[in-house]
Structure 1
Amino acid sequence: MFFALFITALTSCSIENDDSVTYFIEVLPVESAEVPEQFIYGETYEISMTYNRPTSCYEFSDFIYEINGQERTIAVVNTFYVSESAACNPDSVEMTASFNFKVTSNETYFFKFYQGEDDQGEDQFLIVEIPVVE
């Protein structure tokens, strides 16, 4: 449900003047995340996520990054180019996307990496707790 509204709003984007849809924005599940065991207040850390790109017509676009207190919910967003789909390499490829995170609090952070939906349509997350030391 977290990403349903976002996906609905962005899945019909067109970059041409005609009525045909030439690309879609898609949130892809995170397979794993590389994070430090602890943070030091005031430092900046690279957070990396691994996900599977379904075909060569997918390209990394951005992250969805939601802040709620000490909780950070993160998802990987890709663009799927419909107009190029006939020429896509259909092989799934493991990809890595990263961002820098600056520690601005002395409290423990909770990262929730989006991993897709279960059979009942409920969002699933890889949850990682990272304490902050001084």
Structure 2
Amino acid sequence: MRKSYLKLFGLACMLTIVSCSLDDDRVNFQYTPLQITGASLPDTFELGRVYTVDVNILRPDDCTLLDQFDVRRSFTDTTQIRTISAVGIVLDKDECAALNDSLQDAFQFEVLYTKPYIFRFYTSDDSEGEPEFLEIEVPVKE
């Protein structure tokens, strides 16, 4: 009786392993930076307040979707620098229709320092592959 259970268990395990396929119909994707075409910031910040930063993003085709913002912090002696890029997901499809569609999204930003903030929004790469940025400086009033 025990041998029968072991044989059935072994058969069930083999069927489970054989039925799993890595070649399924899941959609694959890759991440890509998207072009930011504009941003809306106030003329000045107040220390301690939270602001909504509206961002315009170019969606090049219908296979590209906006996923999130990547915000990197750095600073100098006199300013706080935030480098922002829009991260897109590009679906691996055979055909993608060109759109050049403008999307609008936003993120929340809390003012924690009294030094001015410089926002560097990624716009594209130049002809030599170097990133280009739209820069906006916002002073802070206490």
Scaled by the length of structure 1, the TM-score of the pair is: 0.79
Partner of 1:77: 87
* SS state at 1:36 partner: coil
The structural deviation recorded for 1:57 is 1.8
1:32-75 residue CA offsets vs partner (Å, 9 max, x unmatched) = 11111110000000111111101122111111110002100000
Instruction: Select which of 91, 102, 109 maps to 2:117.
Output: 109
The structural deviation recorded for 1:122 is 1.3
RMSD of Structure 2 on Structure 1 (CA): 2.1
Partner of 2:101: 93
Structure 2: gaps spanning 5 or more residues: 1-20
1:70-107 residue CA offsets vs partner (Å, 9 max, x unmatched) = 10000001111113x53x44222100121000000111
Partner of 1:3: none
17 and 67 in structure 1: CA distance in 2 versus 1, 3 angstrom threshold:
farther
Distance 1:18 1:102 in 2: 45
Task: Report whether the alignment pairs 1:124 with 2:132.
Answer: yes
Counterpart amino acid of residue 63 in structure 1: F
Per mean C-alpha deviation after superposition, the further-off stretch among 54-63 and 18-27 is 18-27
Partner of 1:11: none
Distance 2:130 2:88 in 1: 21
Partner of 2:16: none
Counterpart amino acid of residue 99 in structure 1: F
Aligned residues: 117
Structure 1: gaps spanning 5 or more residues: 1-15
The structural deviation recorded for 1:125 is 0.6
Scaled by the length of structure 2, the TM-score of the pair is: 0.75
Bigger CA radius of gyration: 2
* SS state at 2:87 partner: strand
Distance 1:68 1:38 in 2: 20
Task: Report whether the alignment pairs 1:57 with 2:63.
Answer: yes
